[in-house]
Structure 1
Amino acid sequence: MPNGVYDYNEEDVYKIFMNGVERKTYIYGRVSTPKQNRDLENQIELLKQFCFNNGYKIHGVFSDIASGISFEKRNEFFKMLDDVLAGKVERVVIAYKDRLSRVGFELFKHLFRKFNTEIVVVSEVGNEKLDSQEIIEEIISLLHCYSMKF
């Protein structure tokens, strides 16, 4: 501070305001229909195992049986989101991008980043993709979503 100006980044500000508050690790799973309940259980177990293997202490498990496009019936997602927006969450661990949202994943990634929350996508850990691959996957996901409507 020799020039009289303080230089802080987002991480520094969070540390000041959240001093003494343990930030949490949450896992979130979602399936579209009740018929997929077993898949949801497997998804949650996979996420728990991933967290254990990576030394993450799990503070909350959230899951919904609801559409990946609409947020109308995603009560657990909104409970988790409230904590993210309150700055209480360090990371959210999901199995695949589309478990969080079939559309607009990048919007959530940006929003979570603003609250210093990392989204860990288990299927992509150690598997960096090219932009073209991500675009193709997004198109396939959208086509799948809209084909399910008919």
Structure 2
Amino acid sequence: MSKIYRINEFAKRIGKSASTLRRWDTEGRLIAKRTLTGQRYYDESDVRKILGIKDIDRKTIVYCRVSSSNQKDDLKSQITAMEQFCLNCGIAVDEWIQEIGGGMNFKRKKFLFLMSRIATGEVKILIVAHKDRLCRFGFDFFEHMANENGCKIKVVNQESLSPHQEMVEDLMAIIHTFSCRLYGLRKYKKNIKKIIQEIE
């Protein structure tokens, strides 16, 4: 379901003032939708209209990912399977994105660029083989964000079928993250202790 904006929220979204939107409504340039009580509101179709993004230009994208370069054969198999799925379902794909990077790394360049494009309403459908191809954790959040911007995420297989080694690597990443935090806390405590000793 597309996100609904109150007039002030919509004004901030497109970089205009609420008074400008009221004037546009009166002039017929951008007529606001109204609730039963007469309150103005807007949705993502209005965002696309103002930003010049036509529905016909919105893309269907397939995103494929593996964790490491030694999984390139797995990436090829994933792409082949997705091509077959899209052909069987009659889905016209505008763009294919391939990426190598851990599922817990939210700083992947292509992933971040994809999220930015979804946020601006450029993507209509995003297709992934499994939820964990997009991200190992937090899929529900990214799906919600996509839905709010008029993008549907199609998961071909709801089960997680990641290779065993990749799962191990992600678990190791979790352990490493928390280990670094613990180390940081210990260092922080030592610094505080040192400062107190210097004061005394």
Q: Give the TM-score of the pair, scaled to structure 2.
A: 0.56
Which has the higher Rg, Structure 1 or Structure 2? 2
How big is each residue's C-alpha offset from its partner over 1:48-88, in whole Å with a ceiling of 9 and x where there is no partner? 2212222221111112111100123x222122222211101
Per the TM alignment, residue 97 of structure 1 is displaced from its structure 2 partner at its CA by 0.3
1:106, 1:26 → 2: CA distance?
A: 19
What letter is aligned with 1:40? L
What letter is aligned with 1:114? E
Q: 1:90 aligns with which of 124, 142, 165?
A: 124
Q: 2:143 aligns with which of 101, 106, 109?
A: 109
Paired positions, count: 133
Q: 2:182 maps to which residue?
A: none
* CA pair 33-23 structure 1, distance change in 2 beyond 3 A: same
Unaligned runs of 5+ in 1: 128-133, 135-142
Q: 1:39 maps to which residue?
A: 74
1:62, 1:19 → 2: CA distance?
A: 22
1:63 pairs with 2:88:
no
Contact 2:48/2:121 (<8 A) preserved: no
Q: 2:58 maps to which residue?
A: 23
Give the 3-state SS of the residue equivalent to 1:62 in structure 2.
strand
Q: 2:110 maps to which residue?
A: 76
Unaligned runs of 5+ in 2: 1-33, 161-166, 176-200
Contact 1:62/1:77 (<8 A) preserved: no
> Which is helix-richer, 1 or 2?
2
1:122 pairs with 2:156:
yes
1:115, 1:43 → 2: CA distance?
A: 27
2:54, 2:96 → 1: CA distance?
A: 24
What letter is aligned with 1:23? R
Deviates more, 1:29-38 or 1:63-72: 63-72
How big is each residue's C-alpha offset from its partner over 1:34-57, in whole Å with a ceiling of 9 and x where there is no partner? 111011111112112212222221
Give the 3-state SS of the residue equivalent to 2:145 in structure 1.
helix
Moved >3 Å (runs of 4+) = 3-21, 147-150
How big is each residue's C-alpha offset from its partner over 1:66-122, in whole Å with a ceiling of 9 and x where there is no partner? 1100123x2221222222111011111000000000011111011101111111000
Q: Give the TM-score of the pair, scaled to structure 1.
A: 0.72
2:132, 2:171 → 1: CA distance?
A: 14
Per the TM alignment, residue 146 of structure 1 is displaced from its structure 2 partner at its CA by 1.7
Q: 1:146 aligns with which of 167, 171, 195?
A: 171
